[in-house]
Amino acid sequence: MLRVAIAALFGALSLTACAQQPSAPAAKTTAAAPAAAGDADQRVRTALQQLDPTFKPDFIGAAPFAGFREVLVGGQVLYVSDDGRYLMQSQPYDIQNKGPVSSQGLLTYRRKLLDGVPTNERIVFAAPNAKYTVSVFTDIECGYCRKLHQDIAELNRNGITVEYLAFPRMGLGSQDYTDMISVWCAADRKQALTAAKTGKAVTPKNCTNPVAMQYKLGQQMGVNGTPAIFAADGTQLGGYLPPAQLKAALVRVSAGGSR
């Protein structure tokens, strides 16, 4: 899998760097050459296939900075130079707008994925006069998921609707997964989720449910921890944020400051 290949690659590079003795300065490398979008996409695709022949990108598009393509594969966001030579694995930060940044293409891709989840498959805590809506991949056991849930009333007072999607972080087949199915199958899902997040025993239930699908969706979107909060435009706002900080982030996104 590419995730494993990339992790192994970076690990090997780190070990090699630690083992090397000081040496003469390396020769300057040539900067990534500009390339047409279609050519750059193919170069990046070919380069990554050299790391893993089974590479299948979910998304390739222009990065939010010049000279690179933004790639989403196996839930990981990568940045590869247009000539296919250099690879980076980090979240770019916009110093001017003071926030993480993603390309418009990646935001559109994420938004389409989120828009594909019907409201009746989410657990929704609606604000009376909603100004913002966030989609939150959640787990019933993680501490910060519980802390975020304690803020629901304050978030709603600030005009923020919270729509939960299931992301059992212990994986499919775990007790966490089974308990989240029980929550999604409860007659009153909001009450069942709130009870589970306060540590109460989960009453076993089973039904046709979206838990596995939402877990896999979260992986597609790059979720690797909970809570994972997404704005309506697809911007990932991070993990737990206190209500005031979350509202400020949503105001910034609405003003176009996320990209």
Which residues form the catalytic set? 139, 142, 145, 169
3-class DSSP state of 253: helix
Separation of alpha carbons 162 and 248, rounded Å: 16
CB 46 within 8 A of CB 84: yes
CB hemisphere CA count around 161 (13 angstroms): 14
Strand-pair category, 93-94 with 87-88: unpaired
Separation of alpha carbons 141 and 159, rounded Å: 26
Separation of alpha carbons 61 and 79, rounded Å: 10
